Structure 1
Amino acid sequence: MVGDEDSIVLVLNRLRRAQGQLGGVIAMIEQGRDCKDVVTQLAAVSRALDRAGFKIVASGLRECLTETAQDGKEPMSEAELEKLFLALA
């Protein structure tokens, strides 16, 4: 994964939060909750996932700019980073 330990911790926290929210959405659907409530929670899950993805891309940009790579791997190219970023759009 791209990023320093702090970035990784932030991403994992966001993903765990999204996982919990998604569990809540599933429970809401199973309980027959109101459509508005379900969609509101589903949107929150989507935002949490997007933010985790953007954090990963931002870490990649930072790494690319400083030309440091983990484990001796080459930093991502500008084209690769653009492709990743656009995948989230």
Structure 2
Amino acid sequence: MTTPNTDAAATTPTRGYTASKEQLLTRIRRIEGQVRGIEKMVEEDRYCIDVLTQISAIQAALDKVGLGLLDGHARHCMHQGAAEGRADEMATEMMAAVGRLMKRG
């Protein structure tokens, strides 16, 4: 009977955003605060255009986060996937993610 490799289970994988993880989390927390701000604006019956302006700012901030993640994915994850012989699979996966990011209601 073999025992599972506990060292491998305890190792956190390196992602494309690992080096900038704290910056990413800071940006996401800021966006979270903006969303709470919109909630407060609605509770206070603020002018529609002001609320829409804040929504647009949040969308732009989320787009910037998404582009940063795509950049990290392209530079790290796809490079690693290519080294493993999965370049086409990784490219297809990334393009699907780009398509989802670009889709707007």
Q: Which runs of structure 2 are paired with 1:1-89 in the superposition (5 Å)?
A: 2-67=15-80, 77-89=90-102
What is the CA RMSD across the aligned residues, in angstroms?
Answer: 2.2
The aligned residue for residue 71 of structure 1 is none
Mark the runs of 5 or more structure 1 residues left unpaired by the alignment: 69-73
Contact 2:17 2:69 in 1 (8 A): no
- Normalising by structure 1, we get a TM-score of 0.79
Q: Percent identity?
A: 31
- 1:65 Cα shift? 4.9
Structure showing greater Rg? 2
Runs of 4+ with >2 A deviation: 4-7, 64-68
Alignment partners' CA distance in 1, 2:74 and 2:100: 15
Stretches of structure 2 lacking an aligned partner (at least 5 in a row): 1-13
- TM-score, normalised to structure 2's length? 0.68
Give the paired residue count: 84
Cα-to-partner distance string for 1:3-38 (whole Å, 9 max, x where unaligned): 243322222122111100000000000000011111
